[in-house]
Amino acid sequence: MKPWDVPHLAEGSAAPQVDHDKVTVYNMRFCPFAQRTILVLLAKNIPFDVVNINLKKKPEWFLAETWGLVSVVRYQGNFIMESLINSDFIDEQFPTPPLHPSNPVEKAKGRLQVESFSKMSAPFYKMFYDFDLAELRSKQFAIILGKLEEMDKDLKRTGNKFFGGSSPGMTDLMVWPWIERLPVLDLRFPGEGLTIPDSLDNLVNWVKDMWEVPAIKEYGLSPEIHLQYSKSSANTGVPDYDFLIRPAENKPAEPRGFNFGGEQTFPPVFKF
C-alpha cells in the first residue's frame, strides 16, 4: 500500500497522529499543486506519510493548523504551506540529491521558467469547467500553446533532455502536473485539436522521458482517471475523492493511451 492510498478526511474527523520526525504531507490525490510536493519527496527517496484532505468538507483541525489549502508539509512541529515553498524546503532540508542547480543564477532561471510555464493552468481550467463553446476553448488553448512552444524552445536551446539537464530537476517536477493533465482536454473535447502539436518535437520527447521517471511512474495518473475524477462531481457538486481505493469492481477502466507527437503513448498502468 502506498502512503497516499488512504481515505480523504473530512469535517468531524479526528486530527491524525503523526510522527514528529517524519515528513507528513497534507494532500489531495488529484490536486496538481500537491502532486508537486509528492514528486519531490519521491525523487529524493525521502520516507513520508500522507494525510488526504477532503477539500469540499475540510476538517476543523486542518483549517486551524494551515491556510486550508494543499499541499502542506508537516515536519517537526512546523507546517510549511504552498507547493513551491515546501518543495524548496524539502530540497534544502534533505539536500541529497539536489533538485536545484547550485549556481544561483541557474536556480533563478529555473524559477522563472516555472513561473512562466505555470501560466497554462488558468486557461486549462477555464476550458475544462467554464466554456461550452469550441470557439472559446480554442482561444484559451492558444494561450496554452504559447507556453508549450516556449517550453519546446527552451529545451531546444539547451539541448538537454530535461529542464534540469541530463536528469529531471525542480523545474521539471513543478511543471509536470499540468502536462500530465493536458490530454484530458482531447478526451473531453475530441476533434478540436487540443493536443501538443507534433512539430514541438523537443517537448514531445520530454513528455515521453518524463513518463519514465520513477517518481512519475509511481504517482502519475492516466488521462482517463483524471477525467473520471473531474466528472465525479457532476451530480452532487462534490468530487469522489476516494474512487481509486475502492474494490476493483468500482475502479475506472485502464488507460487506452493518448497521442503525443503523432504516436500512441501509454502511461504506466496503475493497480490500486
Rg for the chain (alpha carbons), in Å? 19
Burial label, 23 (beta-carbon count in 10 A; 0-12, 13-18, 19+): buried
Decide if 89 contacts 80 (C-beta within 8 A).
yes
Strand partners, 69: none
Q: Is the dihedral of CA 22, 24, 30, 34 positive or negative?
A: negative
Buried-exposed string 172-186: b where 16+ CB fall within 10 A, e elsewhere? bbbbbbbbbbbbbbb
- Residues 136 and 143: their CA atoms lie apart, in Å, by 12
Q: Which stretch of DSSP H or E encloses residue 83?
A: helix 83-93
- Residues 34 and 24: their CA atoms lie apart, in Å, by 12
Residue 12 backbone zone (phi > 0: left; psi -120 to 50: alpha; other: beta): left
Active site residue 254: no
Q: Which three cell numbers stand for residue 80?
A: 510549511
Strand partners, 260: 263
Q: Which entry of 25, 31, 148, 213 is annotated as an active-site residue?
A: 31
Which residues are known to be catalytic?
Answer: 31
